[in-house]
Amino acid sequence: MPIEYTNQAADHVAWIIPVRNQEPGIGRLLAAIPPDVFAAVVVSDCGSTDGTAEAAYSGGATVVSLERIDFASGCHQAIAALPETLGAFVCTGSDLTGALDEALQLRVAILDGSADLVIDSRSGEVRAMRLKALRALQTSEPNPSWMVDIPVRARRKGLHVLEMPLGPMSEPQVSWTAAVRLWALGLWER
């Protein structure tokens, strides 16, 4: 089902929140979002077995349910459902602590023209992007490493890619294959 705008005055940016079993925190997070910040909030429920989806829906979010339990699939399915008229998306990690601050940082980086694409410098994952740029780069069916492939293709096309350290100050959670790919292209430093 296509996602409708919930707020036309939010510079056409959607916030995607992939979650799994986050019932206690998702309602609080959604209630904390200031008005007029995001055109749509989409909770991508990655196989929750608690009341996460219901809490998100009650909190005013659009809910996209998935069977796969991974961040990349959660973001991709939600992005695919966004209307063509949206300008950009931000996608935060599934740890809800600090998610609103992270989403706001990403939104600013996209809206102020700093970047066409923002990746998390700790994980290499896509965290925000102009949808026009994404649609120009993306293949019809994502592969398991699409969140790493998109930044590589974006750099090759000359798009402005911004790296930001996001999330907790822990070691990056990147597969060995993704890390090697990023390193070979000069996008990863250990």
User: Where are the chain's structural domains?
Assistant: 13-184
**Which is more confidently placed, 20 or 67?**
20
In tens, the pLDDT along 67-104 reads: 666 777 778 788 888 887 888 999 887 677 788 888 88
The region of weakest confidence among 5-9, 28-32, 44-48, 135-139 is 5-9
Angle at 138 between CA 190 and CA 78, to 5 degrees: 90
Residue 24 contacts residue 49 (beta carbons within 8 Å): no
145, 116, 38, 6: CA torsion to nearest 10: -80
In the three-class reduction of DSSP (H, G, I as helix; E, B as strand; rest coil), residue 164 is classed as strand
Torsion, Cα 38 35 46 51, to 10 degrees, reads -160
**For the structural domain made of 13-184, what CATH number should be given?**
3.90.550.10
What's the chain's average pLDDT? 79
